[in-house]
Chain A
Amino acid sequence: MKVSYDKCLHCGCCVGACPKNAIYLNDYVLEFNEDCNRCGRCVKLCPVGALVMEAVK
Chain B
Amino acid sequence: MEVVQQMSPLSMGWCINCHRQTEVNFNDTYYSAYEDYHKEMKDGDRTKVTVEDIGGLECQKCHY
Partners in one complex: no
Binding site for B on A (CB under 8 A): none
